[in-house]
Amino acid sequence: MTLDIPRSAAGLGDSEAAFAAIASAAVRQAPTFVGLCDAQLRLSFLNAAGRVMVGLSSGADITAYALLDFFAPQHRRVVAEIGLPTMLREGQWEGELCFRHFTDPSRQMEVRWSAFALRDETGDLIGAACFTNDISARKQAEQALRSQQMLLASVLNNLPLGIGVYDRHGDLIHSNQRMRDYTSLARLPSRDPVSSRRWRSYDADNQPIPPDRYPGARALRGEVVTPGVDFLYCEQGAAERWMRISAVPFRPEGEEPSGAIVVVQDVDDLKRAAERVELAGAELASQSRFFQATLSSIPDFVYAFDPQRRFVYANQAMLALFGLSMEEMLGRTFADLNYPRDLAERLEAHIDRVLSVGATVQDEVFYRSPTGYGAYFAFLWGPVYAEDGSIELVVGVSRDTTERRAMEEALKKNETRLRAATELVGLGIYSWNPVTGVLDWDDRLRAMWGLPSNVPVDTAVFEAGIHPDDLARVQDAIAACADPAGDGHYNIEYRVIGRDDGVTRHIATSGRATFEQGRAISFIGAAIDVSAHRRTEAAIQASEAQFRSFTEHSSNLIWIGDPVAGTIVYRSAAFERIWGLPCDNAPTALADWIEAVHPDDRQQVERALATVRAGEVAQYEYRIIRPGDGKIRWLRDTSFPIRDENGAVSRIGGIAEDLTPEDNHQVYLVSTKAAEARHLVGLVRSVGYRARSFESASAFLDIAPVLAPGCVLVDLRGAKLQGLSIPRELKARSSALPAILLDGPAADVASAVTAMKAGAIDYLTMTDDESLRGRIANAVAECHGAARPAARDESAASRVERLTPRERDVLLGLVEGGTNKTIGKKLGISPRTVELHRAQVMNRLNAGSLTELLQIALAAGIKPVTRVSTPLG
């Protein structure tokens, strides 16, 4: 079969995309019914072969059908009440049912239906896969075989002979009705002294034949006793009758004799009354016609050859094959019937072998008859003995095996396709006999263990390759799989260290055990090397960890949104500092987030976001009104599109920088004692500073990178070593947050020295509240002074450079002597908006008055536009 693999997938090597594309092509082009259902068991995919099977065109909408719609009405209840619940409970179900035909309601197809539940990594049902084979031909073949068996049983029961089959011990295992009518030979007379007294026969010397020479006993020793021996048989309470007994060894499929076939014929009339010879002859003729009619009605080909390889008999089926009458057929050889020379020589050699050694011959040949019918024929030929023991005929039976061979070829093709599919997806197939412990691996599985092809494997080789840390877990899974109390499933992933190459691989494997009489008797499974997948997962996890580490420690807000759902899907920790809200309390809808944007800036923000959704990068500035305290903060946001593998914008992201000058009146208090923390918060707030407490050093240090400027007051009384770690860590991070350490009243000079060496800018000891309040106020004031960056460029020009274009326009208007109204008219904005920009310019340039603002502007080189006077001016 040729797979139509996409050119893009074929170039990807061993990647998952290539395997997925190849597997998809194999499913689409599979010669059997392959269907996929969603979680509601409605069909979502049906391959071309499946559509042909049920009479659906290639353009038919399969999603309009549920899984039950494909079954014949009489089987839907079985599927609904047994099949589907079993599949959902055990993962799969299969059975032989009937499919309907969508375009021909009169047609139904007998199929072998297999369904598997599909679940995601969390175990939730996501759908089902269905695989179906049309078994109508096999069913018809089975029905024909049953009919033939019934015909043979009918023939045997109606033969005018008693026929019995005995095992090697002489016990009867089967007989026809005539045998039971003649005599109740439940055991051969040679093995039963009581019944042997009822039989008497004499040799040529008129001497009684002993039981060990009876035909049945001789047949058990491998002799052929034909045409038979005449016995006088005396049934209890009845007159003696002559019976002719024949026997042949029973050799099933050419094995050593394991029993005997005994034929009993009532010849009493022949032996007793000469006057009944004519009647007996008529009866024999009648029997011959009966056999002739029986053989003629058999659908197989029955025929016989004489020692000169000529046909001496052919039944009706054989005559029809050649298109000849009985008269035309008799006396002909294979050459006369225009058999191909090589085929004729092959068949004549078989006849010679039967005639020379009395062998039974079986073979299968292809032959095209003169009527034009070509087929494969399997035949069985054997000898027919004369009274003197010589072979006088070769009798044969042939059967048309074309359909069987076609089924075998189809099975081989399916096996080849399955092997090709396993090669495509990299599956290794193996089996295990829980009784003997024998393992059977293919070469792909050997390669996973770092073994050469065809190297012998056993349990020791298997366990030696498993990573030591995983071996106990694998052994437990195997024991559970082989436990009859379980479900027999085996599904596990573990590491393997290659024996010859030393490579560590991640192997995912699954399989199922088969149980019989309360114990596991077989197991078959498949394994796949998922090392590349695990490496990809590890790389993704490392990348995600790096991204989160970067975003959580960035002073800028990093956000990601879903433009289709209209939601914010991620915000970094800086959101809490800028918005004044915990991330958990932040709105998720983009519309709710825009509600916090200043009304005058919302239209600008919405236009910018629309540009980003269209695939462009946008940079814009806007104000927000903090929901918690109503304060205004200026932000500069750089937003950008995030595209999926198809190039479509699936996400939008942004980096928001807070441009608002910070208020340093903030104290962060770290204390492990809740009561002391509340007490110190009260003291800090009483001297005019804002306070925020943390219960541990780790809780503070985790969020320190995104905290607003301020200072840290660390209470050492609860956990001194933990508290000393804070200034050390802040110093190592080059953080601008200075630390003040507070210790108990009994602290000594050495403690103070340790605190200062750790990086504290001040060290206090506990006293009364009034004194402590003043000391904290002084220390915090000095702390804030120390926190002011000494190297900051405070020149007028550098400060003006930090203004936005709109703020520069407002500043220029002020330098030219404009009012809010005239500036707004010139710039096309409202006076209120000019007022807000003006206040922001004052904050950015750290100007306390309009005069100071103009001085800074002039120092930065901003001058009013010079107007040339005119005569009218």
Q: What is the mean pLDDT of residues 437-458?
A: 89
Assign 155 a pLDDT band (cuts: 50, 70, 90): low
Query: Are residues 612 and 648 both part of a single domain?
Result: yes
Per DSSP, 829 falls in state S
- Which pLDDT does position 629 carry in this prediction? 76
- Which pLDDT does position 98 carry in this prediction? 92
Query: Are residues 653 and 722 both part of a single domain?
Result: no
Residue pair 426/528 in contact (Cβ under 8 Å)? The answer is: yes
Tell me, yes or no, whether 293 lies in a domain: no
Q: What is the mean pLDDT of residues 463-468?
A: 93
Query: Are residues 349 and 453 both part of a single domain?
Result: no
Q: Amino acid identity, residue 430?
A: Y
Residue 733 has pLDDT above 80, yes or no: no
Residue 23 has pLDDT above 50, yes or no: yes
- Which pLDDT does position 469 carry in this prediction? 94
Query: Are residues 452 and 546 both part of a single domain?
Result: no
- Which pLDDT does position 560 carry in this prediction? 92
Q: What is the mean pLDDT of residues 108-131?
A: 90
Q: Which of 121-125, 191-195, 805-809, 866-870 has the lowest mean pLDDT?
A: 866-870
Query: Are residues 196 and 232 both part of a single domain?
Result: yes
Residue 474 has pLDDT above 80, yes or no: yes
DSSP strand E in 564-681: where? 567-571, 618-625, 632-643, 649-658, 666-670
Q: Which two tokens stand for residue 863?
A: 């001058």
CATH code for the domain in which residue 833 is found: 1.10.10.10
Q: What is the mean pLDDT of residues 469-478?
A: 93
Q: What is the mean pLDDT of residues 123-152?
A: 82
Residue 350 has pLDDT above 60, yes or no: yes
Q: What is the mean pLDDT of residues 612-632?
A: 84
Tell me, yes or no, whether 708 lies in a domain: yes
- Which pLDDT does position 416 carry in this prediction? 62
Q: What is the mean pLDDT of residues 714-725?
A: 88
Q: Which two tokens stand for residue 556?
A: 């800028």
Task: Report CA-CA distances (Å) from 104 to 58, 74, 77, 109, 703.
Answer: 16, 17, 22, 11, 72
CATH code for the domain in which residue 634 is found: 3.30.450.20
Tokens 């039971």 correspond to what residue?
A: 180
Tell me, yes or no, whether 9 lies in a domain: no
Decide which of 464 and 802 is more confident: 464
**How far is 410 from 135, CA to CA, in rounded Å?**
12
Torsion of CA 77, 78, 81, 82, to 10 degrees: -170
- How, if at all, do strands 427-432 and 666-670 pair? unpaired
**How confident is the model over 656-676, as pLDDT tens digits?**
888 775 555 788 899 988 888
- Which pLDDT does position 287 carry in this prediction? 44
Query: Are residues 187 and 260 both part of a single domain?
Result: yes
- Which pLDDT does position 872 carry in this prediction? 31
Residue 868 has pLDDT above 80, yes or no: no
Query: Are residues 751 and 649 both part of a single domain?
Result: no
Tell me, yes or no, whether 864 lies in a domain: no
The sheet carrying 739-743 orders its strands as 690-694, 666-670, 711-715, 739-743, 762-765
Full residue range of the structural domain in which residue 689 is found: 666-787
**How confident is the model over 424-447, as pLDDT tens digits?**
567 888 899 888 888 989 888 899
Decide which of 791 and 600 is more confident: 600
3-state class (DSSP) for residue 856: helix
Residue 26 has pLDDT above 80, yes or no: no
**How confident is the model over 804-816, as pLDDT tens digits?**
888 888 888 888 8
Tell me, yes or no, whether 766 lies in a domain: yes
Tell me, yes or no, whether 20 lies in a domain: no
Decide which of 503 and 194 is more confident: 503
Write out the H or E segment, with its range, that includes residue 276: none
Residue 791 has pLDDT above 50, yes or no: no
Query: Are residues 147 and 261 both part of a single domain?
Result: yes
How large a percentage of the chain has pLDDT more than 90?
12
- Which pLDDT does position 414 carry in this prediction? 60
- Which pLDDT does position 275 carry in this prediction? 44
- Which pLDDT does position 793 carry in this prediction? 38
Tell me, yes or no, whether 13 lies in a domain: no
Residue 12 has pLDDT above 90, yes or no: no
Decide which of 486 and 269 is more confident: 486
Last residue of a domain, one of 726, 753, 787: 787
CATH code for the domain in which residue 739 is found: 3.40.50.2300
- Which pLDDT does position 11 carry in this prediction? 46
**How confident is the model over 514-536, as pLDDT tens digits?**
888 888 888 888 898 888 888 87
Q: Which of 127-131, 842-846, 865-869 has the highest average model confidence (pLDDT)?
A: 127-131
**How confident is the model over 68-104, as pLDDT tens digits?**
889 999 888 888 888 899 899 999 999 888 999 998 8
Q: What is the mean pLDDT of residues 741-764?
A: 83
Tallying the residues shown for the chain, one arrives at: 873
Tell me, yes or no, whether 276 lies in a domain: no
Query: Are residues 738 and 810 both part of a single domain?
Result: no
- Which pLDDT does position 219 carry in this prediction? 87
**How far is 713 from 666, CA to CA, in rounded Å?**
11
Query: Are residues 262 and 147 both part of a single domain?
Result: yes
Last residue of a domain, one of 787, 815, 847: 787
DSSP strand E in 104-237: where? 108-119, 125-134, 162-167, 172-175, 199-200, 225-234
Residue pair 425/23 in contact (Cβ under 8 Å)? The answer is: yes
Bridge partners (DSSP) listed for residue 132? 33, 113
Assign 782 a pLDDT band (cuts: 50, 70, 90): low
- The total of structural domains in the chain comes to 7
**How far is 621 from 636, CA to CA, in rounded Å?**
4
Average pLDDT, the chain: 81
Q: How many CB atoms lie within 10 A of CB 706?
A: 20
Residue 299 has pLDDT above 80, yes or no: no
Last residue of a domain, one of 754, 787, 820: 787
**How confident is the model over 566-575, as pLDDT tens digits?**
999 888 888 8
Q: What is the mean pLDDT of residues 607-617?
A: 87
**How far is 274 from 267, CA to CA, in rounded Å?**
12
Residue pair 604/620 in contact (Cβ under 8 Å)? The answer is: yes
676 burial via Cβ count (<10 Å: 0-12, 13-18, 19+)? middle
**How far is 808 from 316, CA to CA, in rounded Å?**
113
Query: Are residues 647 and 546 both part of a single domain?
Result: yes
Query: Are residues 123 and 201 both part of a single domain?
Result: no
